[in-house]
Amino acid sequence: MKQLSFPAEAGNLRGARSVRRTFRSVPRALVFLVLLSRFAFAAHFVDPKKHWSLNYPDSWHIQQALLDAGGPLVLTTFPSGKYLHGGLLPPGAMEVNIRDFPASTDENAIIISSPPDGVSNVRRSVEVIGGRGVLRADYDWTDDQVAKWHVTSVAVRVGGRLFLILLTYERRQPSPKETAIGEQALSQIVSSLSTEGGK
């Protein structure tokens, strides 16, 4: 399979051009409302040890027990501790898992983190999310319990670190509404990632 890679800040110029075109063609009041709806209702997370931070939709929840146990940052559309038996997501739920890696890590090696035996329908692309160039993979995964998931995996380089963001739906074919909510969350997280002292 052909590997895909991208420069550390790919896509910023294209994103800037897109924003300029948007402001020329759309009434400013409408643009303001779109931006307000996207960023006004955001919660903030700071990793006090690794000194990175991000914003996420304030309707999502941090799974604090996983964080306290030394695990990655996990955000869900359901309250903390409400996983089903076996750690399964409740029906209609979504989960975002954020991990950081050293800058020397190859994004192609980690972009698909699920066990290979259960992975199918893999689609890779290099694109712009939240104004930043990312390597993206969308795929389906069937776990050991024969539960079926749809996963969107995004690798993005920020401030000398590589971040892997996994968006997981509880079934293979998310609805258009679920897809929109998930893509909005991804965009907000990616655009707000910062390694400047956890600000």
**Domain range annotation of the chain:** 11-40, 42-192
pLDDT at 178: 87
Instruction: Order across the sheet with 132-142: list the strands.
Output: 61-62, 73-76, 94-101, 161-169, 148-158, 132-142, 119-129
Quick one: CA dihedral 181, 182, 183, 189, positive or negative?
A: positive
Whole-model pTM over 0.75: yes
Residue among 58, 47, 39 nearest 158 (CA) = 47
Q: Give CA 90 to chain center in angstroms.
A: 19
- Which backbone phi and psi does 73 adopt, to 5 degrees? -75, 125
Q: What is the pLDDT of residue 198?
A: 57
DSSP state of 105: S
Taking the C-alpha atoms of residue 180 and residue 164, their distance in angstroms, rounded to an integer, is 20
H helix or E strand, kind and range, residue 134? strand 132-142
Largest CA distance in the chain: 52
For residue 107, which phi and psi values (nearest 5 degrees)? Answer: -65, -30
Q: DSSP code of 173?
A: S
Distance CA 140, CA 153 (A): 11
Averaged in consecutive runs of 10 residues, what is the pLDDT profile of the chain (199 residues)? 42 39 44 45 90 94 91 92 79 92 94 86 95 95 80 95 93 80 95 83
| pLDDT for residue 11 | 39
Instruction: Among 3.40.50.300, 1.10.3720.10, 3.40.1000.10, 3.40.50.720, name the CATH number for the domain at 42-192.
Output: 3.40.1000.10
The pLDDT assigned to 39 comes to 47
Nearest 5°: the CA angle 168, 197, 74 is 15
